[in-house]
Amino acid sequence: MRTTQRDKINQSHLSRGYYYWEEDTGLLFLRVKAHNEKEDFAFCSVKGCERVKITAVIPKGSGPSDCMTQAYPLHAEMPIVDVPMPRKLPSAKLRTTDHFLEVKLESYNTRFFHIKEDFAYTEVNGRKLYQPDDGVQLTVMSGHDGRLVESKGFRNSILQGVPAQIESYVNNLTDHSIVIITSKGRLVTRGPWTRILELLGADKTLNLRGN
């Protein structure tokens, strides 16, 4: 429900909330409440990311709009630090000149008429590791220096059966390892294999969703 008072967006009206449209800048203000709790400074809830869909009716013939031109410095705010930054490691403990680990995950599918193909890969410091089979792929890096250790895939046939193979693999990982998981194809979202997610640090209430 639209309101002409920006402060009113923090109030609720029956089952619907308020939104405020600022004509001068073109900014839309609204308050969104997630269904699940989230940790401080986290982008997603404890059960995964939640989506918000906003539909706008744009008049025919309208030109391009850029709200940045009018929004700042009107709505500029000073950053607030609520949590102190972690203590910097001494130079003696830094084994490489690079102190940042750049990681990229991508999972998508393409369709050409009736032919559908799934793709998934992990990219670590510019090196791409493609997932060849449907299932999950675990990419392991050293938590000390960010070095890529290995990448191991587990097919859906393994996930659907007795997951001794993937459990043994996770249990034998070196302490302080960084593990990234990608999925490809129709993911097996339930079963004993999901216990390994908890071993890797995931919340017990985590719910997986298939494609």
pLDDT tens track for 19-60: 888 888 888 888 877 788 877 777 777 777 887 788 888 888
In a domain, 211, yes or no: no
Domain identity same for 166 and 75: no
Task: Give 110-157 pLDDT, tens digit per residue.
Answer: 766 666 678 888 998 888 899 988 889 999 998 888 888 999 999 888
In a domain, 4, yes or no: yes
Of the three residues 82, 105, 121, the one that is the final residue of a domain is 82
Domain identity same for 108 and 60: no
Domain identity same for 58 and 2: yes
Dist CA 107 CA 187 (whole Å): 12
In a domain, 210, yes or no: no
Nearest to 109 by CA among 181, 185, 51: 185
Query: How many structural domains compose the chain?
Result: 2
Burial of 176 from C-beta contacts in 10 A (0-12 / 13-18 / 19+):
exposed
Most confident of 6-15, 42-51, 76-85: 42-51
Amino acid in position 103: V
Contact 19, 29 (CB under 8 A): yes
Q: What is the pLDDT of residue 140?
A: 93
Count of Cβ atoms closer than 10 Å to residue 145 Cβ: 12
Amino acid in position 168: S
Domain identity same for 152 and 116: yes
Q: What is the pLDDT of residue 93?
A: 67
Strands of the chain, DSSP E? 12-13, 16-17, 19-22, 27-30, 103-112, 115-124, 127-130, 135-142, 148-155, 177-184
Residue 176 CA, distance from chain mean position? 21
Of the pLDDT bands very low, low, confident and very high (cuts 50, 70, 90), residue 196 is: confident
In a domain, 28, yes or no: yes
Domain identity same for 35 and 111: no
Dist CA 146 CA 35 (whole Å): 35
Q: What is the pLDDT of residue 96?
A: 62
Domain identity same for 75 and 95: no
Domain housing 42: 1-82
Which distant-in-sequence residues (6+ apart) come within 8 Å of 37 by Cβ?
A: 45, 46
Most confident of 3-12, 118-127, 168-177: 168-177
Dist CA 142 CA 178 (whole Å): 6
Domain identity same for 118 and 176: yes
Domain identity same for 60 and 116: no
Contact 163, 196 (CB under 8 A): yes
Amino acid in position 68: M
In a domain, 209, yes or no: no
Dist CA 65 CA 62 (whole Å): 8
- Can you give the pTM of this predicted structure? 0.51
